């Protein structure tokens, strides 16, 4: 397969700047007057040139300004081309025959874009007007960053999700080597699957920064076999930063640090562990000191996962991590334990499509006086889900009313296992414990990322008797 002029230029620029960062140029509609758009963009480019390997203006932010906005976009594109840096015009076009031809001319000939984003919903013939321009690049929408992406992009398409079908089709459209894919950082598990289908295609990765996508996990999942092939787009977090150059350097350095871990052979799951650990630490959900737990045990740290309700991005990552564990289990419903496990259970239910119920912590003294909220049928199997586990006692308390109602419980799934005997206690009752993170893995990630010292980790492990 011959690589196109666009991707050759992109690879050259990525190598020259030691960067996989793409800066999105989306001037805020309410904060940047139309007459100042070009100056706004030129300042961003000047402060980030040599740091980014590509720029991506989104046409909507210019079209909304009318003719003056369109003129500012054309001027911005011309300015970036004068810097010899690849430019992707984010237009998400998709239409048939002569209309697609007109769109291609507008993007490539009139505006002078090096590459475009395209919506493949109309099928392969809607791509041809663009793909035949072998000196230009195309990025096909495969799985996007918005919450509603799952509504269509994960629908069954002949036994596989639609995004898998799109990735496979895009490979067939890539005869000239000028086609890439768009997969969001908000779904690293999807990205890993797409990379298996399209091992050598470039992937444009939106969703990092303001949208809360997981950069490290996505880099680990999305790099090609040469350690590249992934274009990480950051828009608002760079363009609206007080110091765009500094923000761009920080993102580039994070990307390169994650690349270095992959090249060093760090386990892929480290990226997930690190993202969760850093997110929890930044949220204040992991604190070090002297605390008394519900079990009465003394602890040198306190994990308050109830704070997750205040961080939708981190909650989404937690839900996806737990959904990954649940994917290997057989069950009918999720039973979340109030209070810490209940909002997590709701997020996991939305992520998996599995129905949720929960055992009440206290008997309802009015109405139906139910002990279990939600619908279910006697004999069904439920997975008990909670935020963390210490000794296992609270899990057994929650399981009792479920068993009394005729529900079967085989598995208990938590975000964090404090490694203080819960696994053995639950196993003695015929229950299997599964966790996204053990406390040891959480501590290791915080050390790896420089949040705590090795000495603090040793002290915590010794105090809690963790080997």
Query: Are the beta carbons of 171 and 198 closer than 8 angstroms?
Result: yes
Which CB contacts under 8 angstroms, 24+ apart, belong to 401-406?
401/359, 401/360, 401/371, 401/372, 402/335, 402/359, 402/372, 404/371, 405/371, 405/372, 405/376, 405/378, 406/378, 406/379
Query: Are the beta carbons of 136 and 111 closer than 8 angstroms?
Result: no
How many C-beta atoms surround the C-beta of residue 342 within 10 A? 20
Residue 373 CA to its chain's centroid (Å):
31
Distances (CA, A) of 147 to 209, 210, 211, 257, 442: 16, 14, 10, 28, 28
How many C-beta atoms surround the C-beta of residue 391 within 10 A? 19
- In the structure encoding, which two tokens stand for residue 19, read together? 């960067």
Q: What is the DSSP string of 330-388?
A: --SEEEEPTTTHHHHHHHHHHHH---EEEE-SS---STT--SEES---TT-EEEEEEEE
State the catalytic residues: 92
Cβ-count burial of 454 within 10 angstroms (0-12 exposed, 13-18 middle, 19+ buried)?
exposed
Residue 317 CA to its chain's centroid (Å):
7
How many C-beta atoms surround the C-beta of residue 335 within 10 A? 27
SS3 29: coil
Distances (CA, A) of 149 to 54, 121, 124, 202, 435: 25, 13, 21, 21, 27
């Amino acid at each position: 397969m011959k690589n196109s002029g666009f991707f050759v230029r992109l690879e050259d620029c990525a190598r020259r700047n030691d960067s996989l960062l793409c800066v999105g140029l989306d001037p805020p509609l309410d904060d940047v007057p139309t007459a100042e758009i070009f100056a706004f963009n030129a300042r961003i480019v000047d402060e980030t040139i040599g740091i980014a390997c590509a720029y991506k203006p989104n046409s909507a932010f210019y079209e909304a300004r009318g003719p003056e906005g369109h003129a500012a976009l054309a001027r911005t594109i011309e300015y970036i081309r004068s810097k010899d840096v690849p430019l992707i015009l984010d237009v998400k076009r998709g239409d048939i025959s002569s209309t697609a031809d007109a769109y291609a001319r507008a993007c490539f000939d009139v505006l002078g874009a090096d590459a475009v984003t395209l919506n493949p919903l109309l099928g392969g013939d809607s791509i041809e007007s663009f793909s035949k321009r072998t000196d230009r690049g195309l990025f096909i929408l495969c799985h996007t960053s918005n919450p509603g992406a799952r509504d269509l992009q994960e629908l069954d398409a002949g036994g596989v999700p639609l995004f898998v079908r799109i990735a496979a089709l895009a490979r067939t459209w890539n005869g000239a080597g000028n086609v890439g894919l768009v997969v969001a950082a908000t779904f690293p598990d999807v990205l890993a699957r797409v990379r298996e289908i399209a091992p050598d295609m470039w992937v444009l990765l939106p969703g990092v920064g303001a949208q809360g996508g997981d950069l490290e996990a996505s880099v680990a999942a999305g790099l090609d076999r040469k350690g590249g092939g992934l274009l990480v787009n950051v828009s608002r977090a760079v363009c609206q930063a007080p110091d765009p150059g500094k923000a761009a350097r920080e993102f580039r350095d994070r990307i390169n640090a994650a690349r270095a871990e992959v090249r060093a052979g760090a386990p892929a799951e480290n990226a997930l562990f690190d993202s969760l650990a850093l997110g929890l630490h930044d949220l204040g959900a992991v604190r070090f000191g002297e605390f008394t737990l519900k079990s009465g045990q003394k602890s040198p740290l306190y994990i308050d996962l109830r704070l997750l309700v205040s961080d939708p991005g981190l909650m989404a990552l937690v839900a996806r991590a737990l959904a990954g564990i649940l994917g290997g289990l057989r069950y009918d419903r999720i039973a979340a334990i109030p209070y810490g496990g209940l909002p997590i259970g709701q997020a996991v239910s939305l992520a998996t499509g599995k129905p949720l119920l929960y055992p009440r912590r206290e008997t309802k003294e009015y109405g139906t006086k139910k002990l279990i909220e939600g619908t279910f049928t006697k004999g069904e199997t439920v997975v008990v889900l909670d935020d963390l586990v210490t000794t296992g006692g609270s899990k057994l308390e929650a399981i009792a009313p479920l068993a009394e109602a005729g529900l079967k419980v085989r598995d208990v799934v938590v975000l964090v296992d404090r490694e203080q005997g819960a696994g053995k206690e639950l196993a003695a009752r015929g229950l299997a414990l599964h966790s996204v993170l053990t406390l040891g893995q959480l501590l290791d990630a915080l050390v790896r990322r420089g949040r705590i010292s090795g000495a603090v980790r040793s002290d915590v492990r010794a105090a809690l008797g963790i080997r």
